[in-house]
Structures are given as structure tokens and as C-alpha cells.
Structure 1
Amino acid sequence: MTTVFKLKNRTAMAAVMAAAAVAAGTGAASAQTTWDMAVVWPEGNFHTQNHNTFAEAVEEATDGEVQIQVHSGGALGLGGPEMLAAVRDRIVPIGDILLNQQVGEEPIFGMESLPYLAPSFDDLAVLQGIARDHYDEVAERNNQKILYMVPWPGQAVYTTEPVETIEDLEGVQIRVVDSMGSRFFEALGASPVQLPWGEVVPGLATGTINGVTTSSSSGVDGNFWEFLDYMNRFNWQGSAIMVNVNLDAWNALSEEHREAIEAIAEDLEPQFWENARAEDEEKIAILEENGIEVTEPTPELRESLLEVSRPMWEEFMEDVPESREIIEAYLEEVGR
């Protein structure tokens, strides 16, 4: 572990301890267990709102004996790529973890982000249904348990100029989330820049980037209409978060509380998926109201993008052998 990461961990731990102290001062100390939940998304984001719903349900079901305090907007000092390790090492007991930011720890979590592998909510549901048991095993070997998983709306491409052909992407300095995105957009002739969410709007404001690939939700969160003019709904990449709890924290609960929390997570996950679908429709409408022109890729453009994507699927299966059985079963299920 590098010195920098140690320092970050100490800072995050101090923030968690401070949050716990504040909670004690406001009467939360009466609860037998309080978990501080790390979330990088802002308070108004639909994922954060889902987590608040979950926390409220847990408090009610356990008569206040288990409380989850949701700290949005990165308030606990943890960045997205640190989340899997942070929950594993109990820097926080529970966290919102974006799968494709964890590939440095567990490459399998980059599977859903393969270009055009699972471009729709329905496709992603099939893929996760096949992969979920394996994800549970990966979480367990990282000393944590997955409580629920929720998708982001599909990844669009925001630009200053319309994108109608691959050539229109040439030279665009486009923000991407992970190495998969970098490789994909490099192959398309763009100039990808990997940036965490917190650096996207400053990058647009300073001209470091002039394009972004992200969801409709993030486009609204970032007021993209102040910087960009077009959103092409490529839906080129699936993306999901998982809410994981550290196994030591989990096992410290009574069996009754564990069963109640598992039941809540199972009951709420389908509703959270519906919230994601509704979020996409709502946020696209907001983007359009604020002057963003929303387009769909033509069949010709989509086929060109798939031609670039398919070799990346095979390469991923070679590099991450544990993914092959899952991907091949998924492709057979969806008839590709």
C-alpha cells in the first residue's frame, strides 16, 4: 500500500470517526449499531435517494437498533476507485461501489462495461442474473457482502458538435471512467481522458475536455448544457453500482437483523431498478428542456461501433478467464 493511499485512508477514517461523534451528539448513540455509508454521488442523485430509502427501511425494521447514515457527495473523503478496498479494510462498514472503477482490485468487475455487451437495462438484467453468484464470491473474498445492485442509465456521448459518424469523434477530448472506455474511444479516433466525477465539470470549464461519456443523470448533475450542445444516446456501456457491507460488520449483527436487512435489500432492488429507468426518462427530458439536442445513433453507426466492440469482448475473456463462462452464457441467452 502506498504512502499516499495510507494518508487517504487515515483522512477517511478520521472523517468517519468525526461523523460518528456528530451522530452521538445528536442522539444516534442510542442505536446499537450505526454504519456510516460512503457515497460519492450528490444528495439529489437517484442512487443516493435509493440509499436513503434503504437506510430508512433498515432503521424501521430493526426498531432503530441498526442505523445507516448515508454520507453523500464524497463527504467521507473516499474516491470511487477506493471503495472496494475501503469496505474490505473497514475504513467504512458499507459503501456504494461502482463496479467498473474496481478493476484494479478485481478485473471481473469490468465485464459489464465491455462496449455494447449489455447496452440496455434488459440486457444488463440478464447479464447480472447470470453473473450474480460469481459476484457474490468475489465480494466474499474481499471480506464483504453485496446487499443490492442497481444500474446507471446507459452511457451517452456528450459533445459540442453532433456525432453522426465515427469520423465525428476524431480528436474529441472525451472524459471516460475506466481503461475500457479509453481503449474504446481511442479505437474510434477520439482522445479519451480518464477522470473521476469530481473533476468532470472543472475539466469542461477549463477546456481540458470537450466531450463526456456518462449517463443522463450525470449530465443533469453536471449542468452539461452550460458547456455542451449534443447528447447521442450510444448506450455503449452498461454500468452498475453495488452496495456492499464489510463482513466483520455484517457478522456482528444478530441473525434476526441480518435476515431483516437481506429481506429489505431483496424487496427494494427491483424498485431501485425501476427508479433507474424512470430516472433516465426524466433526466433526458431535463436535458432537452435546457437546450441539449438528444439523438440516437443510426443503424450504420451502431454497426460500426459493434465492429470495434466485439474483438474487445474476446480479449477480455482471454485476460479474465473467469468471465468467459458468464459472457458466453449471456450471449447465448440473448441470442447473439
Structure 2
Amino acid sequence: MMHLVRSGFVGALLAAGVTTSAFAQTAWDMPTPYGDGIFHTQNIREFADDVKTATDGNLVITVHSANSLFGHAEIRDAVRDGLVPIGEFLLSRLVNEDPVFGLDSIPFLASSYEESTALWDVSKDAISEKLAAQGLTLLYSVPWPGQSLYLRKEVTDPKQLEGLNFRAYNLASERLAQLLGAIPTQVEETDVATAFSTGRVEAMITSPSTGANAKAWDFTSNFIDVQAWLPRNVVVVNTEAFEALTDAERKALTDAAATAQTRGLEMSKEETAAKIAELEKGGMKISKPSEALSAKLKEVGETMTTEWQAKAGDTGKAIIEAYRNR
């Protein structure tokens, strides 16, 4: 209780733009769910340094990593409610509020960094508007490495996926398994190794980062680099806190955000290459999808995109049309 009271009081003061009288310095606390070893957090720390330098120390952002200030599920609300002025979270966590927030997680719609960037370019205005309606100003977005296939055996023909126990962890992954002819099998992340080792799961889809960190080579053997989707993190600021800044401070913040988005994209690409190399070094066979498998995955993507558009309405249809006509 004391923590909540303190956080609310301090956060409200900071969101209101309270400064210290000695240096006229604005101090912001920034929660992020990820640890210091994660490239998103490293990018945010550079972003905070850039803001401090550009404002001559007048705006100082203190990064609180690894859920140390607020848990991931709380960060958006904390920024929206003014408990902290700025924060980072996974955009698709908001999909239950509006389908548009789950656009980046439609399988096989954008299956490369180039396509992910193009999809973001045509959707960011709509996403910004929806966040703005919650009192949030979007600063920047950075994708995670693409989600790819891990299998106990080599697969070149999509028919080989039929009947396989496929790890499912949400409705989208369950639907993906169904469309591939696989059997959705609920398995928590902490149980993946055991599930593979016992045969309860024979396939899953996750990022090379997660696979390498879990030493996937100890329980599976094949990695197919399909980059089914590249989920995005967003960094947002409480709009009232943003508008309370001076013109120079707002410019410093948005300039640093633009730099962070560009830098973060390159860091994500480097992470992908490094983690795939780690999987290969561990003994996994690394491959690209065969033509037949690619065709099946594209078919699945079309189905799931159509289903998403039915939920997202006119906004969703306009985004997909702009993406495909780019």
C-alpha cells in the first residue's frame, strides 16, 4: 500500500511537470518490462542519455527496467493515469481493447523487417490516434525479431505439419495451428523444454532470441526462419506531461525518439542475426521455408488477415489496402 501511495504521489507530481527549484530540472521515471540485457532496454537508456544531453540536463529520464517500478500489465495504465510520465510496453497487449493494436501480430502479413517497417508506416497514424484518445502521445516503436518455427524434425512439405502437436499460448497461435492442420497444445513457456522432450509438443513458433535463451537445441533440432510476425514495442508519454515541457524540451524528446526508432531497428536486426547464429552453434539446423511451405504460410496469412479485417472494420481495411498498394 505504501508503495502504491508513494508511486502515485511522486508520479502525479512528475506528470504535472514539477521541477526542482535548485536546477529547474524536470525528472521523469520511466518503467520498462525488460531487463538490462535486452536490446530494447539498452536502446531506451541511450534515448534517455540523448534527451539529457540535448536539454543540457533540464529533462532527466530515469529508466526502471525489469518490471521494477510497474509490471508490464500496469505500465500503459500508469502512464495514462499520470503515475509516471513515460513508459514502454508491447503494443499487442492492448489488442482486446481494439484489433488495430494487434496488427503487427497477424501471422505472415509482414514477414521481414522491410515489410514490418512498411506496415508500421501505413498504420502508425491510426495507432497514434487511438493512443491519443487515451491521453498518450506515441514517441517511437521498435520491432522484436520475427517469430519462427522450431520443430523436432525437418519439414519441407506443409502436409508434414498436419497432426503435429503445436504449442499454443493464445487465441492467435491456436488459430495458426488449426489452419496449419496441427493440433493446438497449451503449454506454458516454463514447460516448453519438458513438453518437447516428452513429445507432448513437436512444434512451436517463437523468436530466435527466446529460442537461444532457452537453449532450444537441447530439446529440438530444426529452425525454419519464417519470421511469421515481428511484434512491436511502443514508447509513449502522458500527453499532459509532454505538453507541459518547453518547446525546446519537446523537440529534444521527439528528436531523440526518432533516433531511437532508427537505432532500435538496427539493434533488432543485429539481435536476429546473433541469436540465429547461436542456435546454429548449438547444433540446430537452420533453414528457410521451402516453396511449398511458403505458399501454405501465405495462405494462412491471408485467412488470418481477412479474419482480422472483419474485426477491425473500416480502419483495418484501409490500413491493409494502403499496405498492399504501397
Quickly name the TM-score band, shorter chain normalised. 0.7 to 0.9
Q: Which residue of the partner structure matches residue 261 of structure 1?
A: 253
Give 2:45's aligned amino acid: N
Q: Which residue of the partner structure matches residue 150 of structure 2?
A: 158
Mapped partners of 1:207, 1:14: distance in 2: 42
TM superposition shift of 1:194:
7.1
Q: Determine whether 1:185 maps to 2:177.
A: yes
For the residue of structure 1 that corresponds to 2:139, the secondary structure is strand
For the structure 1 residues 147 and 119, does the alpha-carbon distance in structure 2 shift closer, same or farther, using more than 3 Å as the test?
same
Query: Which blocks of at least 5 consecutive residues in structure 2 are unaligned?
Result: 12-18
For the structure 1 residues 317 and 248, does the alpha-carbon distance in structure 2 shift closer, same or farther, using more than 3 Å as the test?
same
2:55 pairs, out of 62, 76, 85, with 62
Q: Contact conserved, 1:148 with 1:265, CA < 8 A, in 2?
A: yes
Give 2:66's aligned amino acid: G
Q: Contact conserved, 2:107 with 2:229, CA < 8 A, in 1?
A: yes
Q: Which residue of the partner structure matches residue 120 of structure 2?
A: 128
For the residue of structure 2 that corresponds to 1:69, the secondary structure is strand
TM superposition shift of 1:41:
2.3
For the residue of structure 1 that corresponds to 2:61, the secondary structure is strand
TM norm structure 2:
0.84
Q: Determine whether 1:102 maps to 2:90.
A: no
Mapped partners of 2:2, 2:310: distance in 1: 38
Q: Which residue of the partner structure matches residue 16 of structure 2?
A: none
Q: Determine whether 1:325 maps to 2:314.
A: no
Mapped partners of 1:253, 1:318: distance in 2: 41
Mapped partners of 1:222, 1:31: distance in 2: 46
Q: Contact conserved, 2:99 with 2:308, CA < 8 A, in 1?
A: no
2:192 pairs, out of 204, 207, 211, with 204
TM superposition shift of 1:15:
8.6
Mapped partners of 1:168, 1:102: distance in 2: 34
Q: Which residue of the partner structure matches residue 142 of structure 1?
A: 134
207-216 vs 225-234, which moves further? 207-216
TM norm structure 1:
0.82
Query: Which blocks of at least 5 consecutive residues in structure 1 are unaligned?
Result: 1-9, 21-27
Q: Contact conserved, 2:88 with 2:233, CA < 8 A, in 1?
A: yes
Q: Contact conserved, 2:9 with 2:83, CA < 8 A, in 1?
A: no
Mapped partners of 1:14, 1:143: distance in 2: 22
Q: Which residue of the partner structure matches residue 53 of structure 1?
A: 46
For the residue of structure 2 that corresponds to 1:158, the secondary structure is strand
For the structure 1 residues 83 and 323, does the alpha-carbon distance in structure 2 shift closer, same or farther, using more than 3 Å as the test?
farther
Mapped partners of 1:42, 1:168: distance in 2: 38
Q: Contact conserved, 1:15 with 1:76, CA < 8 A, in 2?
A: no
TM superposition shift of 1:102:
1.4
Q: Determine whether 1:33 maps to 2:26.
A: yes
Mapped partners of 1:132, 1:105: distance in 2: 17
Give 2:27's aligned amino acid: T
Mapped partners of 1:12, 1:100: distance in 2: 28
2:205 pairs, out of 210, 213, 236, with 213
TM superposition shift of 1:203:
2.0
1:290 pairs, out of 282, 292, 300, with 282
For the residue of structure 2 that corresponds to 1:41, the secondary structure is coil
TM superposition shift of 1:77:
4.2
TM superposition shift of 1:82:
4.5
Q: What count of residue pairs does the alignment treat as equivalent?
A: 311
RMSD value, Cα:
2.9
